[in-house]
Amino acid sequence: MFTSETALAKVRAAEDAWNSRDPERVALGYSEDSQWRNRDVFLTGRAEIIAFLREKWSRELDYRLRKELWAYTGNRIAVRFEYEWHDEGGQWYRSHGNENWEFDDEGLMRRRYASVNDVRIGPQDRRIGV
């Protein structure tokens, strides 16, 4: 069962791991059989998570993320997030979304459901990691 402090600590740890852009480090926060929905992609297990993140960060260059605790109850947390990145051509994007997380008894995330929308922005409109 989460408290406001422990839920916020989970969110900060996830933000730090994702901002490392290290797929192996990120995957350690998820159970071996973790289930994901990320946009229209469905994944199961750490190996699939690592492969997905490697491919993601090969396209989403200079990725920087912010997460915000939205709500928590029991072993679940809801998060609002936004991140900025650019493609190979230099076009910047801000991606907005929501995630629903469920944790196992060891504190690893066993389910992650993410809905994400992308908006084109100019370099002057960046506000994360500037």
Q: What is the pLDDT of residue 130?
A: 66
Tens-digit pLDDT profile for residues 77-98: 999 999 999 999 999 999 999 9
Q: Which long-range contacts (CB under 8 A, 24 or more apart) does 75-81 make?
A: 75/1, 75/2, 75/102, 75/103, 75/104, 76/2, 76/100, 76/101, 76/102, 76/103, 77/2, 77/7, 77/10, 77/11, 77/101, 77/103, 79/11, 79/14
Q: What is the pLDDT of residue 129?
A: 78
Q: What is the pLDDT of residue 9?
A: 98
Tens-digit pLDDT profile for residues 3-58: 999 999 999 999 999 999 999 999 999 999 999 999 999 999 999 999 999 999 99
**Across residues 97-108, what is the average pLDDT?**
98
CA 28 to CA 123: how far, in whole Å?
33
